[in-house]
Structure 1
């Protein structure tokens, strides 16, 4: 089996990974779903600032990439939840160190962002 070009262009799988998690909210979606399924409304509450249109599209993209599974329970009122697939779980676990890094460096990053935002 030959490795697809989008995986080996840089000598590692970073291109393929970035194709899946590209988008402002996709890494956060995966991080929030890593431990248990969540309904749309719960995700929306946890992700302050995301529009319905963007959240719906990013959920659809992640489902199309086979890292999320959408379960429709065919009930009235409608009940749907989202969960990571085994492939998605491994990707979500790879995101955890990035979260840790952000937490450990939050004060310095806030200072840097404030400086950057103050630039003309």
Structure 2
């Protein structure tokens, strides 16, 4: 059994790793725009988890797996993310990358109509 001092250090280490993983993705974005929002995606289901965890996910606006929401950097949102850190993936994004529900849907949607990629009638040997 581990002593309580090592448990506390493990808890601090996991908090530090979360802060590092959230800022690690920021280096790939443009340096000119400040990172002002969290992009939070629910990766794992909350089935059979306690009500307080499910309530935290609802408070973040996450209802389905692979659903993505955007929230401003605030201490209360950061605390909620730390509560469910095993279930979500988080990235820091600038304000220009924030998408609402309709914009996310339009990005996923295929373009209308069809495109002729080749024709046997006009094929050259």
The TM-score bracket by the shorter chain reads under 0.3
Query: TM-score if structure 1 supplies the norm length?
Result: 0.23
Larger radius of gyration: 2
Q: Which of the pair is proportionally richer in strand? A: 2
Query: TM-score if structure 2 supplies the norm length?
Result: 0.23
Q: Which has the higher contact order (CA 8 A, sep 6+)?
A: 2
Q: Which of the pair is proportionally richer in helix? A: 1
